[in-house]
Structure formats: structure tokens, C-alpha cells
Structure 1
Amino acid sequence: MTQDVISPYRLTLQSDHLWLDDVEYELQQELGRGKSAISWLYRRTTANSTLPAQIVLKRYCQTGHQTIDFSQALAFELCSYQRLQCAGIAHPRLLAYSHEYYCLAKAFIAGELISDLLIRQGLDDRHFRPMFAMAQQLEQHGFHIDYFPTNFVLNAQGLFYIDYEAHPYNGEWDFANWGIYYWLNRDGMRQFIATGDVRHINQPDQPKPWVTPFQRQRESLMRRLANGASPIGK
């Protein structure tokens, strides 16, 4: 599937700078660490360009938490990008990738992470409604994604999935049966972000969220959205 993915620009890395063709970017900060990669924010150093002012460079590395074999990580991401395009959900544009540097570059999506919103104020129907709509759209196209709250940004244009991970649909890992429990676990997410200890959000020794404490809240939320109730606070 990935043989059809052509890198839009040539990517070159050198120390704390990168180039997309001849357009230079300078490293600004680390954005986060995932199961198989570290993401970095870069800013364009020149004003005259049609390329984005800020981009994200995702560099794959060996970790102790890989769900995809390291040697297949880039190929899987490119395949996932095609799946997201097929499903038509909001996600960052792929700008370049490199087998030499084993990385990819994508547009930076400004806004607030769902995980930050969850910790700061909690989430309500205004956040869950577009997420359920996105999940339904993905399911209709035969895919599910990583519904963890750090993978989503909300801005004036709507909800964006900023990761590229996408799999053939499996209801065990969809939003209603997996991701929603992370979106409801405000205290657990706060402690996880502060400490990195997955015991605050996951059941022992498995990549499954705590379910029982949030079951009634989940059921109430899903009934309310199914009935078309107005968002909380409206």
C-alpha cells in the first residue's frame, strides 16, 4: 500500500536544523514521546515560502513500548496516512519522509490538546460529540485509530487527529469500548501526565483502561448523545 506514497518534499537533517527541499527549519522544542517515536517542533527560518511556518518531525526510535516492529514503523505510518486520507477525517498533512533518517515531517496543528483540556476543565458533550462522529466515520471506512487524548487537538476549525496510527477496524479498540475511558478519567490522566505511571490510567499489566469507575458516566453520555441532547453548559 505504501508504494503509492510519494514524499512531497525532500527531507534533509543536520544537527538542530532540517530542510524541506531548500526551505530551512530550526528546532524549537520536543513535543512528546510515543510508543515508537519522539516528536519535535521546528519553525521555518525564512518568511518567503508556501510551506507551513511550523512543522512536526517524528523520528522513530527503539522503546520498550513498541506495538509495531521498529523496522516497520515508518512503513506502517505511511500506510496509516493513506487510511486517514481514505476515511477523510481531519489530520495533519504529510510533508516529507526519509528512510535515510527514518522519520517523517507533517504540518503542525495549533490548538489545545484534548488531554490538556481534560486535565484543566474536564470534557463535556461538546468534546465527545465530534469524537464520536469521527469514530463513526472511521468505522464506516473500516478503520480505528489510537483514541488516547494526547493524540487530538481542538481549535476553531474543529477536532484534529494529530497522530497517523490507524488499523483495520476492531471494535475492541474503538472509541466507545476503549478510548472513551481515558477521556473520562480526569484524575488518572492528570497523575499519568505528571508521573508517567500508567497504573493511573490502565488496568494492571495490560494496555486497557480502567472501566468500572466510569461505566455509568459512559452509559449516561452515550444515551444523551444518542438522544441529541444539548451540550452541557449550553
Structure 2
Amino acid sequence: MSRANIATVNGERYEVLRLLGKGKGGYSFLVRSVAHPSMEYVIKQFHRDPRRHHLYEDTLQSEIRCYRRLRELGIRLPAMLDVDIDAQRILKEYIDGPTVYELVRSGGMKDDYVAQIRDMAKRLTSHRIAIDYFPTNFVVDNELIYYIDFECEDYTAERSFERRGEPFWARTEAFLAYEAELLLHASPIPETA
């Protein structure tokens, strides 16, 4: 992002409020429109990741294709509002709610959320599509689950919800091990003077 915590998307200016998360393809930031300060959005800034199997220049185009494909299947997603090809940024709707990961951690998960993801996974599997089922990629708003990442891939059994998602959609051993790993590698909080 640019100096003074301002990011632009096709010339429109946005104040960067905070980092929401880092994924395989980029960083997501909560931003506020400079022209309309009451409006909050998400900017996804793509980055070069040597672990990715496709070229950096294709990552943004791949995300656009996946977004269209998932939308056609009726998967609940935030709206893609703008794309800045030169800056490698996507502006999307901000869905204000807890992630499924936060709900699992706090004990706020509901059976209905799991039923919704199973329904979504069944629909995607029937079209031979897999998404990133990790619970940080899902937000709950008005009791509905939204997939906030636009990434998708060809379906394989290894990429299924049962393999990649389900072990982390409850306080399982896998979830607790992941939590412990996060705590182990967390940066210490700096002391203030």
C-alpha cells in the first residue's frame, strides 16, 4: 500500500484501516472510501508467492474467473466491485461479521453453519470445484455463511470439505494443534515506554 495509509483502486482513494489477513495470493485490508468515509470495503493486494503453481501475472485473472464461476453457482460471496489490473488489486464488499474460525475458537459455532457449508460443498463437488474450506475464509452475517475468498480449483478428494475443512470447523485435535502452532509462532507484543 502507498504512503499515509492510502491505497488507490483505479484512481479512487481508500484509507487503509487495518490488515484483515494474509492468504496464499495476497493481503486483505479493511479500507474506508476517502470520498465517502461511511463506506468500508476490502482491498485484496496480490503478491508474488513462489509456492504458487501459476504465474503471478495470472493470479488476479484466476481470481476473477473463480469469482464469476462461483457466482454463477449461487455461492454466497462479497461483491467484486472493482479491479485494478496495474496495481494488482481487487476492491470487494466488506461482510461485517465473525469468521467461522473465530466462532470455533470462542465456542459460538452452530449446527446450521455446518449444514450450510455441507450444502455449499455438495453443490461445488457436483460441479467438480473445490474451494479453500479453511474457516478463516468464511464469515457469518445475519446467520448466513459467506465465502470471502474467491479462490477455486478443480475438485479432488484431497481438496474436499471433509479433508480440508471439516477437521477445523470444530474444536478438534487438528484445530487445537493449529491454534497451538499459531501461539508458538506469534510475535511478542512490544513493550511501551
TM-score with structure 2 setting the length: 0.82
**Gap change, CA 1:196 and 1:54, over 3 Å in 2:** farther
**Gap change, CA 1:97 and 1:189, over 3 Å in 2:** same
User: Is 2:13 the partner of 1:27?
Assistant: no
Deviations 1:146-177 (A, max 9, x none): 00111000121500000000112223211123
Residue 88 of structure 1 corresponds to which residue in structure 2?
Answer: 74
Q: Which stretch shifts more, 155-164 or 37-46?
A: 37-46
Contact 1:119 1:189 in 2 (8 A): no
Q: Distance in 2 between matches of 1:23 and 1:73?
A: 22
Task: For residue 31 of structure 1, give the secondary structure of its aligned residue in structure 2.
Answer: strand
Q: Distance in 1 between matches of 2:164 and 2:2?
A: 40
The total of aligned residue pairs comes to 182
* The one of 25, 35, 44 aligned to 1:36: 25
Q: Distance in 1 between matches of 2:145 and 2:32?
A: 23
Residue 148 of structure 1 corresponds to which residue in structure 2?
Answer: 134
Q: Which stretch shifts more, 176-185 or 13-22?
A: 13-22
Contact 1:113 1:151 in 2 (8 A): yes
Give 5+ residue unaligned stretches, structure 2.
Answer: 187-193
RMSD: 2.5
Shift of 1:22: 6.9
User: Is 2:148 the partner of 1:162?
Assistant: yes
Task: For residue 163 of structure 1, give the secondary structure of its aligned residue in structure 2.
Answer: coil
**Gap change, CA 1:123 and 1:67, over 3 Å in 2:** farther
* The one of 77, 83, 88 aligned to 1:97: 83
* The one of 73, 82, 88 aligned to 2:59: 73
Contact 2:99 2:138 in 1 (8 A): yes
Give 5+ residue unaligned stretches, structure 1.
Answer: 1-12, 198-234
TM-score with structure 1 setting the length: 0.69
